[in-house]
Amino acid sequence: MQLKIYQENAIGELLEKAKKLLGYSGGKKLVFKSPTGSGKTIMMAEFLKQLVDDREIRQSLGFIWAAPRQLHIQSREKLENYFETSRALKCSYFEDLDDRKISENEILFFNWESINRADNVYIRDNEQDFNLSKVLERTKEDGREIILIIDEAHHHATTEISHGLIQMIGPKLTIEVTATPILRDWDDIVSVHLEDVKKEGMIKKAIILNDEFENLIKQGKIQTQKLSGGSEELVIDAAIKKRQELVKEFQKEKVNINPLVLIQLPDRKTSLEDRIRERVEGILKNKYKITTEKGNNKLAIWLSGEHINKENVERQDSEVEVLIFKQAIALGWDCPRAQILVLFRQWHSPIFSIQTVGRIMRMPEPDKGHYGNEILNYGYVYTNLDNIEIQEDIAKDYITIYTSKRSFDPKLSLLSCYPKRHREKTRLSPLFIEIFLKQAKEYNLKKQIDIKAKKFDLKIISDYKSEDVDALAGAKIIGDKEIKASGFDMQKLFDFFVRNNLTPFYPEDRSVGRVKEAIYKFFEQELKMWYGDVWEEIVQIVLSDKNSQHFVNVIDKAKEKYQTEVVKRESEMLDVPNWNIPETLSYGGEYKKVKTKKSIMQPFYSDGRWKTEKAFIEFLEKSDKIEWWFKNGDRDATFFAVRYNNGEEKPFYIDFIVKLRDGRIGLFDTKAGFTKQIAGPKIDGLYKYIQAENKKGKKCFGGIVANTERNYRGRWVYFDKTSKDLKDHSFENWVDLTF
């Protein structure tokens, strides 16, 4: 699996902070805060692999991974799969432990609730002397430190028993892994930001609440007209209609994904809950032909002691369209095709948190990221709750309350652009191999090295003594006892040699593999030595005392060239040849509805941050010459941008697109208190764009727009020339905007 940039950054930070905390005396606590769907388990797996591989760690380490409910089983499977090729760590349950202790680089997985029970077999004393305290005692007798990982920590880390257990385990380092931290006395924290996870296309852009219905906020609580207090049937109708819409859009994208509706029943067990379930199943069967019956199989049930059609529900193309479930089963459950969540009025709480919507946050194909069709990049919640409160965790920024829709299709077809996202900034792409081989030729590596030299220094330190401890500061202790390297040791040494020479690139397996592949290619092309036949000989030549520095030199030169190439490519822009006004836009609770007649998006929502924009909208609304206007945004390919150059090519997301009744398109950016230095490159980019498009037959005009008075009671003017004609703080050669 290819790690995302934010994942690499978080792993690097975890490693740095964990190493620092392990260096202190006593037990320390590190919080790893990362949103649902960000790949917490994979990040932890790679972090643990790098931690045990790190030559600076002198301690022998054993690990305990505690998780709630059955999540420890899922986590063990994921980690075991991740370590399958490297064998960096061993994943075990209690019964798998050798000699009833945790070995070096072994992770003991267990269920936190079961270990919390006083009668648990692994806690109480027994004849076999096989309980947690004895396991820990034997492990520590071996001189091994424990690192305790508490997964989904907000579920269990605060109870008194849990604190007692942490004390009993006595870890050198406790790592709390959660989207919503609760340990207060932590020593350090590593945070992954929701925006970064969204940008990489791992999770949906937002969750839309009651799409197609108007939401209102009264006294900080959300009410939905028509749905609030409405029937279960009304809510199910809205959800099924949205599912049918999504099915069509996935087909247009030529993606074989069957979007899933989750219907969450209240968690309590009363006759009322049973009646709700009967009603829901009746509506699905009678109105939509969705049942659990054989030959239909479109409905799955996942309730305590009752599992129907659940076997393949996670599969992207599963025939199951609706899953009825309760809160209790949801922890750690991963079904990225789940895109619609239905909650009823009798649900346990009117408070929405990130945990509520976590099940519909993931993108079904995270390697592809977001789709070209925006409707597929959102999750949808439908509910008839009367007053919804949004919890002050990540959900506040993630749940969309308002949706604005395009009034009609203007068939705009403008040339737009957006910046291409490059991963090569932090990792090596195949381009590195090509550059390495060129650098090897320039350096004349073939003649510089001695292929008969295969001796390298592999020694261990034996019986080292020092009378003066202070004299050790900065001293280099050299091994004095030679050992013979096995094939496995050589592989480790070769990996270590490459990792050591990767800075500033991230030492992930893929980048390490690129350097190794470049070296193998050099031997194949220049010395006719094939990796498959003489791998051990190649590694001995590279690592030999006579040759290693030459390889370091070529790797360094190749890295420098590679970075230059990456900077060139980083500013690469992609064109959107036929950009049109988006069909829908979503907004959070900080936006307010503004009554407008000419906005193409209805209703129009604004956060009211910029007075210039507000005044310009008022000006546009008064004009008879304007057919419609669009308030542009400033991200990805969703919004309109023109190219400009400020040392490197960037997108300039202008503020307004205005359509006049005479067919002209106005492109305007509202500015107040600007200077030539700030606005110059953007002015030139927009001027160049308008000239080029008009040569192709478009009818564009525009530029930077401003009001001649600070109170916006003056003339509206725009600048339609190049920046060399712009005079700071003067409207001398601007054009009057007469709509």
* Per-residue model confidence as pLDDT tens digits over 525-546: 999 998 778 888 999 999 998 9
> Which residue blocks in 363-430 are alpha helix, DSSP H?
395-398
State residue 398's pLDDT score: 76
Q: Which of 219-223, 503-507, 689-693, 713-717: highest mean pLDDT?
A: 689-693
CB 200 within 8 A of CB 63: no
State residue 384's pLDDT score: 82
User: Which residue, 326, 327, 292, is CA-closest to 311?
Assistant: 292
**CA 284 distance to own-chain centroid:** 35
pLDDT surpassing 50 at residue 462? no
Distance between CA atoms of 465 and 170, rounded to whole angstroms?
Answer: 31
Which tokens in the block code for residue 654?
């202008």
pLDDT surpassing 60 at residue 484? no
Band (pLDDT 50/70/90 cuts) for residue 472 is very low
CB 66 within 8 A of CB 162: no
Question: What is the residue whose two structure tokens read 């208190």?
Answer: 673
State residue 579's pLDDT score: 96
State residue 603's pLDDT score: 92
Percent of the chain with pLDDT over 90: 45
Predicted confidence (pLDDT) per residue in 388-418, tens digit: 766 655 556 677 788 889 999 999 999 999 8
State residue 174's pLDDT score: 93
Distance between CA atoms of 204 and 725, rounded to whole angstroms?
Answer: 45
pLDDT surpassing 80 at residue 76? yes
Which tokens in the block code for residue 115?
């270990």
- 229 against 530, higher pLDDT: 530
Question: What is the residue whose two structure tokens read 């650098």?
Answer: 439
The burial of 725, by beta-carbon neighbours within 10 Å (0-12 exposed, 13-18 middle, 19 or more buried), is given as middle
Predicted confidence (pLDDT) per residue in 576-597, tens digit: 999 999 998 988 777 889 999 9
Band (pLDDT 50/70/90 cuts) for residue 127 is very low
Distance between CA atoms of 712 and 620, rounded to whole angstroms?
Answer: 13
**CA 255 distance to own-chain centroid:** 22
Question: What is the residue whose two structure tokens read 């045990």?
Answer: 52
Which tokens in the block code for residue 72?
């420890």
What is the average pLDDT across 116-145? 71
Assign 214 to helix, strand or coil.
coil
Predicted confidence (pLDDT) per residue in 593-623, tens digit: 999 999 999 999 998 888 999 999 999 999 9
State residue 464's pLDDT score: 37
pLDDT surpassing 80 at residue 327? no
Give the H/E segment covering residue 278. Answer: helix 271-288
pLDDT surpassing 80 at residue 386? no
Distance between CA atoms of 337 and 366, rounded to whole angstroms?
Answer: 11
Residues 6+ apart with CB under 8 A from 560: none
User: Which residue, 111, 118, 91, 114, is CA-closest to 103?
Assistant: 91
Predicted confidence (pLDDT) per residue in 626-651, tens digit: 999 999 998 888 999 999 988 778 89
Q: How many CA atoms lie within 13 A of 38 on its CB side?
A: 29
pLDDT surpassing 90 at residue 355? no
State residue 211's pLDDT score: 84
**Vertex 605 angle, CA 708 and 253, to 5°:** 120
Which tokens in the block code for residue 601?
């998006």
Residue 26 gets the label, from left (phi > 0), alpha (psi -120 to 50) or beta, of left
Which tokens in the block code for residue 321?
């369209």
State residue 673's pLDDT score: 60
Assign 152 to helix, strand or coil.
coil
pLDDT surpassing 90 at residue 686? yes
What is the average pLDDT across 70-81? 87
What is the average pLDDT across 145-167? 73
Assign 630 to helix, strand or coil.
strand
Distance between CA atoms of 380 and 361, rounded to whole angstroms?
Answer: 9
Assign 555 to helix, strand or coil.
helix
The burial of 80, by beta-carbon neighbours within 10 Å (0-12 exposed, 13-18 middle, 19 or more buried), is given as middle
Lowest-confidence segment of 145-154, 207-216, 240-249, 681-690 by average pLDDT: 207-216
Distance between CA atoms of 264 and 277, rounded to whole angstroms?
Answer: 10
pLDDT surpassing 50 at residue 463? no
Domains of the chain from N-terminus onward: 5-197 (3.40.50.10810), 201-400 (3.40.50), 431-462+478-567 (no CATH), 574-736 (no CATH)
pLDDT surpassing 70 at residue 107? yes
Q: How many CA atoms lie within 13 A of 307 on its CB side?
A: 6
> How far, CA to CA in Å, does 715 sit from each of 158, 374, 671, 718?
62, 38, 14, 10
Predicted confidence (pLDDT) per residue in 255-273, tens digit: 999 999 999 887 666 677 7
Residue 697 gets the label, from left (phi > 0), alpha (psi -120 to 50) or beta, of left
What is the average pLDDT across 182-207? 87
Greatest alpha-carbon pair distance for the chain in Å reads: 95
Distance between CA atoms of 437 and 430, rounded to whole angstroms?
Answer: 12
Instruction: Report DSSP state, residue 564.
Output: H
* Average pLDDT for the chain: 83
Residues facing residue 385 across a β-bridge: none
User: Which residue, 385, 404, 299, is CA-closest to 342?
Assistant: 385
Torsion sign across C-alpha atoms 65, 71, 76, 79: negative
CB 135 within 8 A of CB 169: no
pLDDT surpassing 70 at residue 285? yes
pLDDT surpassing 80 at residue 2? no
pLDDT surpassing 90 at residue 475? no
- Pairing label, strands 106-111, 90-92: parallel
State residue 184's pLDDT score: 67
CB 443 within 8 A of CB 554: yes
Distance between CA atoms of 407 and 403, rounded to whole angstroms?
Answer: 12
CB 88 within 8 A of CB 48: yes
**For the chain, how far is it from start to end, CA to CA, in angstroms?**
55
Q: Give the number of other CB atoms < 10 A from CB of residue 181.
A: 18
pLDDT surpassing 80 at residue 112? no
What is the average pLDDT across 376-391? 81
Residues facing residue 703 across a β-bridge: 668
CB 475 within 8 A of CB 498: no
State residue 343's pLDDT score: 85
pLDDT surpassing 80 at residue 153? no
- 567 against 477, higher pLDDT: 567
Which tokens in the block code for residue 369?
């990221």
Percent of the chain with pLDDT over 70: 82
Q: Which amino acid is at 69?
A: R
Instruction: With both helix axes pointing from N to C terminus, report the angle between 5-22 and 40-53 in degrees, rounded to the nearest 10.
Output: 50
pLDDT surpassing 70 at residue 129? no
CB 627 within 8 A of CB 666: no
